Structure 1
Amino acid sequence: MTTPSGQDSLIARLAQARRLLALAQTGLHYATSPFDTERYAEIARIAHLQLAEMASMQACDVAALFASETGYANPKLDVRCAAFNEAGQILLVREAVDGLWSLPGGWADVGVSPAENAAKEAREESGYTVNIVRLLAVWDMLKHGHPPSVFHIWKLVFLGEIVQAGEICGAETDAVQFFDVDDLPALSQGRILPEQIRRLHALRNSGDVEFD
């Protein structure tokens, strides 16, 4: 079991390894000398080994995760939709991969805006058609209590107004339900935290936007 101090140490080491990998990725993008390319590739391999050790993975699996990450290194963007019913309960979906609950959403897709992405994910994962009303929050997951991740992730959460119900049409979720914000099911905390859901409920009522 990881102690609080051990958890802090792991988070710090993950941050260092992510930064090392980002520098290597950016260096590989701009390098013009074969010698520089070789050096940056070596730095990337070291970072892969560090991340693999901390995440209990094989280095080759970590390398595969980042294989499509080329060019200037940027955080990954996670887009979510927070929708509420008339009783103020929040719409959650159950993730098929772990049986835990989350807001509908996922990685930002190329070719659609963030708001369009949030509406699309809500429709596919919950079956509900929503109109996106406004932005509620922009969070840097490193500044919240999420479990450590090999990626640096920014989270955008939009308020969705329910238009109509439908059927789940994606394979990533297998159930949908409304919950009281003070009586939540077991959450997929790599995606959303209980205190964040309660904060979204407050932001919806106040009209404010929160950002890191």
Structure 2
Amino acid sequence: MTRRIDFYNDPQAPTANSLVPSVNVVVTNEAGHILMIRRSDNDNWALPGGAIDLGESIPAAAVRETLEETGITCEVTGLVGTYSDPDHVILYTSNGEVRQEFSIVLTARAVSGEPTPSTESREVRWVSRDDLMSYHMDRSMSLRISHYLQADGSHSPYIG
């Protein structure tokens, strides 16, 4: 099984050999809960998301990745920010790929479906805002979620 290992500002980290545009999605339901997955490749909790395919728009990738990983169909509603820190690299053990972080984080509202795990997600659940930070996740995911939680409509999207 492929493992994903995140490195941040680590002198022992492998050197990046790829840059893959990806998307993460903060999906909310009517109660204001946020959709979270427990990743199969590192057991961390995360927002749904993944690589943007050639010929695919950013919103289309967000909707597709959310449905694939969670069973939830969503509608994109906004932008949290962009994340491209070269000090954050991700090693995929199956093929030695080392990606530099490059993620666009969007907001969305749930339209239909039930939380359903996939090959990429061990668990899928709706999490209240108050409980989010008690879930074990990588620092990059915590940063994205904290930017979402801090936004009150008056802040510009995060660019980093």
TM range (shorter): 0.7 to 0.9
Matched residue SS, 1:99:
coil
Q: Which residue of 2 aligns with 1:94?
A: 38
Greater helix share, 1 or 2?
A: 1
Q: Which residue of 1 aligns with 2:136?
A: 186
CA gap 1:163/1:98 in 2 versus in 1, 3 angstroms: same
Structure 2 length normalisation: TM-score? 0.74
Matched residue SS, 1:141:
coil
CA distance in 1, matches of 2:72, 2:90: 31
Q: Which residue of 2 aligns with 1:83?
A: 27
Letter aligned with residue 99 of structure 1: D
CA distance in 1, matches of 2:86, 2:127: 27
Q: Which has the higher contact order (CA 8 A, sep 6+)?
A: 2
Gaps of 5+ in 1: 1-6, 22-73
Q: Which residue of 2 aligns with 1:139?
A: 83
Q: Which residue of 1 aligns with 2:6?
A: none
Q: Which residue of 1 aligns with 2:11?
A: 9
CA gap 1:10/1:98 in 2 versus in 1, 3 angstroms: closer
Gaps of 5+ in 2: 1-8, 92-97
Q: Which residue of 2 aligns with 1:171?
A: 119
Q: Which residue of 2 aligns with 1:211?
A: 159
Letter aligned with residue 196 of structure 1: R
Q: Which residue of 1 aligns with 2:60?
A: 116
Question: 8 Å contact 1:182–1:198 — kept in the other structure?
Answer: no
CA gap 1:178/1:167 in 2 versus in 1, 3 angstroms: closer
The number of residues matched between the two structures is: 143
Greater strand share, 1 or 2?
A: 2
CA distance in 2, matches of 1:164, 1:209: 27
Structure 1 length normalisation: TM-score? 0.58
CA gap 1:76/1:148 in 2 versus in 1, 3 angstroms: closer
- Percentage identity across paired residues of the two chains: 24
Question: 8 Å contact 1:128–1:162 — kept in the other structure?
Answer: yes
Task: Quote the RMSD (CA, aligned, Å).
Answer: 2.6
CA distance in 1, matches of 2:63, 2:128: 22
Question: 8 Å contact 1:128–1:164 — kept in the other structure?
Answer: yes
Q: Which residue of 1 aligns with 2:4?
A: none
